[in-house]
Amino acid sequence: MSLRKFFVFIFLCFTSLSLTAAEGDAPLYVGIDADFSAVAIEGGFAIKHGAEIAAEEINQSGGILGRTLKIVSLDHRGNPARGIYNLQQFSQNPDLLAVMGGVHTPVALAELPFIHEQNLLFLIPWAAGTPLIDNGYTPNNVFRVSVRDEQAGQVLISHAKKVNATRIALVLERTGWGRSNEASLTQAAKAQNINIAATHWVNWQQKSFSDEAEKIKAADVDAVILVTNAPEGAVVVNALHQSKLAALPIISHWGIASGNFAERLNILPSQLNLAILQTFHFHYQNNIKSQRLLSAYFQQHGLLAPEAIPASVGMAHAYDLIHLLAIAAEKAGVVDTDKLRAALENIDNYNGAVKLYAPAFSKNQHDALMAKDYFMTTMNDKGHLVLLEQR
C-alpha cells in the first residue's frame, strides 16, 4: 500500500468512527401531541410535566442507550386534523422513540391509521376510549397507562349503585369518547340491574343545556352520569342547578378534571353531590416514586398543596410511561419500533408512581390500568380534587 493510500485509509476510518460517535451522541426524542390551548389545557400540560420529569431522571442516570432523552411538544388544540399534522412532523425525526398523545379520544382515534402506516409507537397517558387499544391493528402500536372506558363504565355504575341510584340519566359528549362510554355504561347498567332512564348528548362548545335538564327532571332519575370535558360539564351542571337538580348525585368520568371546571360553575362544588373518577392522587398513592415525582414538581413549579397540582393524574401516567419506554429501549438495545413494541410487552415488573406494574403490558394486553385501579374523588371549593371520603 502506498503512503498516499495509507493516509486516505486512515482518514476514512477516522471519519467513520467520528460519524458513529456523533450518531451515538445524538439525542433521542419523544414527541408529545396534546391539547395545550383548547378544552383540556391542564391535562396537556400535566402530561408534558410528567414526561419531562421522567426524562430528567433518566438523563441523570445516563440516558437511554447512552443517549440523552428529549421531550418535544406540539399542540393539537383538540383538533384531529391538527393532531395528524403533528404526527407527520414528528415522524420526520429519525431519532424519534415514540409519540405520546393526549387528552382527547377523538383526536387519537383519527390518528390511528397514520400511526400504524408509519409504524410509530404511540403512548397514551390520558384518553379512555376502548377502541384506542381494541383498534383492530396487528401488530398494535398503542400502549396505554390511562382509564379504559369499558372498565370505567363498571366503576361509574357501581358508584351509582353505592348511592342507591336505580334510575339514571346519561349525559355524554357527542364524540367517539361519548359513544365509547354509552356502550360501556349500557352494558354495566344491565349487568348491575340499573335502569338508564334517559340519555342526552352535548356538543363541544355547547352553551346551553336548559331544555335537556328539564327533560332529565321529568324523567325522575336519581343520579346523573356525566361524560364531558370541563367546559361542557360546567354548562350541564349549571343547567341542572337552574332546574333545582343540584342535589342529585352527579357521577363524572374524569374529563371535567382536565380544565377549569370549578371556575365555570354558578354554584360552589361543595354544594354539589359530585363524584369524579380518577386513577391517581398524591394522597392515595403515597409511594417512593410518587413522592419523587412530587418533589421534582415542587422544584420546578414551587411549593403548593399536592391536591392543587392541576390534572396530576396525567402527570403521573406520563411519568410512568416514559420510564416504561426507557426500560423497553434498554431491553431492546436498538431504536426500532418492532423491537420496542416487543420489549414493552415483556417487562416483568416496574414499580411506578401509579402502582407496581407486574407486568404493565403483554402481547395481548396493552392497557396497564383496569377497574381495580380506579377510585372516586370529589372537588373542593378551590376546584381541587380530594379523596371522596375526605370531603
Euclidean distance between CA atoms 261 and 93, whole angstroms:
37
Is 383 found in the same domain as 266? Answer: yes
Is 238 found in the same domain as 154? Answer: yes
The answer to whether residue 133 is domain-embedded is yes
**Geometric angle at alpha carbon 68, from 282 and 125, rounded to 5°:** 35
Is 292 found in the same domain as 262? Answer: no
Phi, psi of 335 (to 5 degrees): -95, 90
Is 384 found in the same domain as 248? Answer: yes
pLDDT of residue 102: 82
pLDDT of residue 109: 96
Indicate which CATH number applies to the domain containing 67.
3.40.50.2300
pLDDT of residue 383: 92
The answer to whether residue 227 is domain-embedded is yes
Is 301 found in the same domain as 177? Answer: no
User: Could you tell me which residues are beta bridge partners of residue 275?
Assistant: 251
pLDDT of residue 24: 55
pLDDT of residue 38: 86
Euclidean distance between CA atoms 50 and 289, whole angstroms:
12
User: Could you tell me which residues are beta bridge partners of residue 225?
Assistant: 170, 251
Is 384 found in the same domain as 256? Answer: yes
Q: Which residue type, as a one-letter code, is found at position 76?
A: H
Look at strands 28-34 and 69-75 and give their pairing.
parallel
Is 262 found in the same domain as 382? Answer: yes
Is 382 found in the same domain as 244? Answer: yes
- pTM, entire model: 0.90
Q: Which residue type, as a one-letter code, is found at position 390?
A: Q
Is 48 found in the same domain as 73? Answer: yes
Q: Total domain count for the chain?
A: 2
The x, y and z cell numbers of residue 334, run together, are: 436498538
pLDDT of residue 217: 96
Range of the domain at 72: 26-146+285-360
Is 125 found in the same domain as 188? Answer: no
Q: Which residues in the chain show pLDDT less than 70? A: 1-24, 389-391
Is 157 found in the same domain as 240? Answer: yes
